[in-house]
Chain A
Amino acid sequence: MSWRRLASVRWVVAAALLLAASGPAFGAGFGIFEQGSKAMGMAGAFTAQADDPSLLFHNAGGLAFVDNDEIAAGATWIKGQKADFTGAAPFPGPGARGEQELLSEFPPHLYYVAPINQTWKWGIGVNAPFGLVTEWKNPNTFPGRFLSTKASLQAFDVNPTIGWQISPNFGLGFGAIGRFSKVELNRNIGAINPFTQTAVDVGKVKIESDGFDSGYGWNFGLLHKVTPRISWGLSYRSKISIDYSGDGRLTQISTGNAQLDAIIRARTPFDTKLPVKTGIDFPDMASVGVAVGITPRLLVEVDANWTGWSSFEEVVIKGDDPTASAVFGPNATPAQSRGTVIPEGWDDAMNYRLGVRLDSGPTTQWRFGYVYDETPQPEEVVSPLLPDANRNGFTAGYGSTGPGLKWDVSVMYLKFDQRERHRSLPNEPTFNGTYDTTAWLFGLTIGWK
C-alpha cells in the first residue's frame, strides 16, 4: 500500500468523524438503506450490480471487481414532509393531536476502494446505516409526552473490507464493522395531583449517552457475473450490540401547588447527574439480488432484503448507582426489578426493491426504482418513541459514470402507510391512535475514479 493510499484513508476517517456528528434519521425500523446516490436512484436494488464504491455497504462482493482507485463522498438529505399523530379512544382520544419536528438530516457516506493486485482488493467505508430522530413539537402539551418527547439514535460505521476476485466473474468480500453510536431519550414525568386527582407534569427526564459508545461486527458479500448480462449477489451484515453509558437528569416542573411541589422535590433527585446504562441490539441484515440486462442499455434488478429486527426486543435502562437505581431500577419497584424496560418485541422484516437503469449516453445513466419496506414493529408497541409503518418508496436518479469526476443525484418519495394502534401489551401504556408520515430523500454522491 502506498503512502498516498494511507493518506487517503486518514482523510476518509477524519472527514467521516466530522460528518457523523450530524444526526442521521430514517429507514425501515431505524435502518437507513440510502447509502449511495447511484443505488438510491434504483431504490437500493444494487446487490447484484455493486459497481460503485457504495458496494462497501450494498455488497462487499463487488469489491473483487474493482480495477481502479476510486473515492466517493456524499450524503442523503432526509426531509420530513409530514409526521402527524391523531389520537383514538380510550387514550389519548380522538381530540388529541401531535406533530413531529420535521426531519432535516444528512446521514453521510464516504467510500474508498482500490485494487491491491489482480486478485485482492481493499476498501474502507464510513456511513450511517442506522439512525433515528423522533422529536415532538410542543413537548409540554403533546399528549404522548409521558412516553417520549424526543428519541434520538445516531450511529456510524467504519467498515474496512477486503475483496477477493476468485475468477474473472466471481468475487467475494469480507469486512469488519466498527459501529459508534450515541443515544438520547427525553420524556416528561406525570403523576396524580392529589388535590385535583388528575394527571399533572411534575418533571422531565433526559437520558443521554456520554459521547459515542462502540460495538463490532462483520460483513460478507458475494457477486457472480453469470453472463455479461446476468449477475446475482448476496450480502450479509452481522448483528451488533452496543452498551451505552450516560446520565439521566431529572428536572422539576411546578404543578402550581407549593405543598405538592415540595413533597415531590423532597423525594426526587432533581438536577443531579444520575449514571445510567442501556443497550441496543442492532439487527443483522441479508440481501439477495438478481440483475438482468434486458438490452445493452437497459438493466433491471430485483432485490429482497431481510433484516433481523427480532434482535430489538426491548430497551432496558438501568441506574448505575444507588440513587439512579432508585429512580430507574433495578429494584426501585417490583416493576423495575430489571430497570426501566421499554418492550419492543419487533419481528424480522423483509423489503423488496426493483431498480431500472437506463444508459442515456456513454457515461450517463437514468435510474428509477420502487421499494416496498415492511415494518418490523408490532402494533402494540407503535408509540411516540418510534412510530414505524410499512412504506412505499419511489425513486429516480441520474448520474455520470466517469472516468475522472463522477456524480450521482437521486430523489425518493417515501410514503408511510397510515399506522394505527388500537391495542397495547398487558401492563404497558395505553396510547392509541394513527401516525401519518411522508418524507422526501435527496441523495448526492461525488466521486473520482
Chain B
Amino acid sequence: MSNRFRFAAALAILALCLLPQTASAVDTGSADFTRYVAFGDSLTAGFCSGGLVRNCQLGSYPLLVFAQATGRSPQEAATVFQQPLVSSPGISGQAVCRNPASPLYPCGVLRLVSLAGASPTILPIPGQAVPQNLTLQRPYDNLGVPGATVHDLLFTTSGGFHDLILRNQSPPGFTALQQGLSTHPTFVTLWIGNNDALGAATAGDERLLTPAAQFDAEYRAIAGAIAGTGAKMAVANIPDVTSIPFVTTVSRFVPNPATGQPLLINGNPIPLIGEDGPLQSGDFVLLSAVSEIQAGRGIPASIGGSGIPLSENAVLTAGEAAVIRDRVNAYNATISAVASQYGAALVDANAFLNDVRAHGINVGGITYTNAFLTGGLFSYDAVHPTAFGYAYIANLFIDAINDKFGGNIEPVDLFPFVFGTNGIGNPTAASADFFEPESVVFSPEATHSVIDVFVKAKQPAKPRRHPKH
C-alpha cells in the first residue's frame, strides 16, 4: 500500500468519524423513516384537554416516534416533522369556546382550576388561539384530524378540524389519506377508528357506532391504498372506549352534595334515575351528566331532586356498553387481519387500556390508572391522554415497530413526562412555548356549561350516514 493511499484512507476514516450523527445512527431494522406520515384522529393529532394546542402537539406520539426513529430530540424533530401547530390556549373542540355567543368565548383547552367543593372545577383557558404552521407548502406529516372516523379518512376533505389540517392544499379536494400518500411516505402509522366507537360511548347512544361491515370495507380500502405505495406500516387497534374516565368517573348513585360520595339513606345508596328507571349495576353515568345532576336531574323528588330522569345522552346502559364492546372487537378483528395481510406492526391499544383498567401501569413507583384527574393518563377532557399518556403510547408504537421490523429504536425517555420537566402537556407550565396562566373569572352560567364540553356528547343523535344494521 502506498503512503499516499494510506494517507487518503486515514483521511477518509477521520472524515467518517467527524461526520455529524444522522438519522442512520438509529437501527430501525427494515422500517425506513425517511418520509414518515401519521394518519389518524385526535389521538394522532396530540389533542388534549378538549383542544388542539401546541404544548400537547409537541408531545404527540407521531412526533415522539419520529424523534426516536431518527435519533433527534423532540425539539429538533419538531422542526422536521411538520404538524398543524396551534398557539395557546389552543383550538377547542367545544362549542362553548368557539361560539361567539357563548359567555366563555374565546377560549381553548381545559384546565383544573380548583378541587374545592364536591366537584372539581375545570374551565377552558380564555384566549384566542392562532394556527402557527398554516403556510407550510406541503401536506403536514401529522395528518391526524380530531373527530375523524375511518370514513372521514377515506372521503372527507373539509369541515371541522379538516379545514385546519388539510387547508384545501393544492391539488384541492384531497382527503388526509390522499395528501399523505402524495408525499410518497416510506413509513406510515395508522390509528383510525376510535371515533367510530367513541361518539357512541360519550353520547350514550350505540346507534352512533359505525356498522362493522362498513368499517371493515373502509379500513381495508385505507390500508390497501397505503400498502400500494410500498410504505411500511404500523397500525393501532381501538381501545375499549367504555374504560375511559369520561364513562367510568361518575357513580350511578345520588351524590351527597357536601362530599361528592354516594348519599346513604338507611345505610343504602340511592340509584340515580335514567329513562328506564333506577340505574342498574353495569350502567354508566357519563361525565356530561354532572351538570344535570347538579341541577337535580336523575335524583328522586323524595330526596330533593327534580325527579326528572337523566337524559338519554347522559347514561350509557350496560346493554349499550356491551354492544359497543362487541363492535370494537369486530373493528379490531379487521385491524388485526389487515395488519397480518400487509405485514404491518400492530399496536394493541385495546390490551393497553385493559391493563390500565385492571391494575394500572407502574412507572418507577408511580401507578398510572384510568382515574380522572389523579390517574395521570387522561387529560382534563377525560377522553384524551395526558402528555405522559401520549409518550407511553409512543413507546407502544416503538415496541411494535421494533418487534415487526427488527429494529432497535430506543424508547422515549418518560422521565420529563412523569415529572413535567419538559413542560409538554401542562397548560400552566412555565415553558417557552406557553404563555403565563391567566386568571379565570367564571360566571354561574359558565360553571354550568363547563362539562358541556364533549363535542358529540350533548348533540342529538347525528343524522345517520348509514342506516343502523
Contact = CB atoms under 8 A, between A and B. Distances in A.
| Co-complex (A, B) | yes
Contact of B428 (A146, A195, A335): A195
Contacts of A145: 365
Contacts of A198: 376, 388, 417-420, 426
Contact of B425 (A195, A197, A199, A260): A197
B275 interface: no
B359 interface: yes
A334 B367 CA distance: 14
Interface stretch (B195-203, B231-239, B405-413, B458-466): B405-413
Interface stretch (B112-120, B125-133, B294-302, B311-319): B112-120
A140 to B, nearest CB: 13
B413 A93 contact: yes
B429 interface: yes
A190 interface: yes
A90 B414 contact: yes
B418 A95 contact: no
Contacts of B425: 197
A198 B364 CA distance: 13
Contacts of B412: 89-90
A173 interface: no
Contact of B366 (A87, A89, A190, A334): A190
Q: Which label, helix, strand, loop or mixed, suits the secondary structure of the A interface?
A: loop
Given A194-B112, A197-B426, A199-B418, A90 B362 contact: no
What interface size band does chain A fall in?
Answer: 20 to 34
Contact of B116 (A91, A259, A429): A259
B13 interface: no
Nearest to A90: B411
B373 interface: yes
A146 B387 contact: no
A196 B429 contact: yes
Contacts of B420: 196-199
Contacts of A428: 362
What interface size band does chain B fall in?
Answer: 35 or more
A195 B419 contact: no
Interface in A327-382: 334-335
Contact of A143 (B415, B426, B429): B415
B364 A146 contact: yes
A58 to B, nearest CB: 40
Contact of A195 (B112, B366, B410): B112
Contact of B414 (A93, A192, A259): A93
B413 A146 contact: no
Interface string A190-226: 1110111111000000000000000000000000000
Interface in B361-381: 361-366, 368, 373-376, 379
A93 B115 CA distance: 32
A144 B362 CA distance: 12
A95 B426 contact: no
A313 B241 CA distance: 37
22 contacts: A89-B412, A89-B413, A92-B415, A94-B413, A95-B413, A96-B415, A144-B364, A145-B365, A146-B365, A147-B365, A195-B428, A196-B420, A196-B429, A197-B387, A198-B388, A198-B417, A199-B376, A199-B420, A334-B359, A335-B359, A429-B363, A430-B363
Interface of A: 87, 89-96, 143-147, 187, 190-192, 194-199, 259-260, 263, 334-335, 427-431
Sorted nearest first, the 10 A-B pairs with minimum C-beta distance are A146-B365, A198-B420, A93-B413, A192-B376, A93-B415, A194-B373, A90-B411, A429-B362, A91-B414, A89-B411
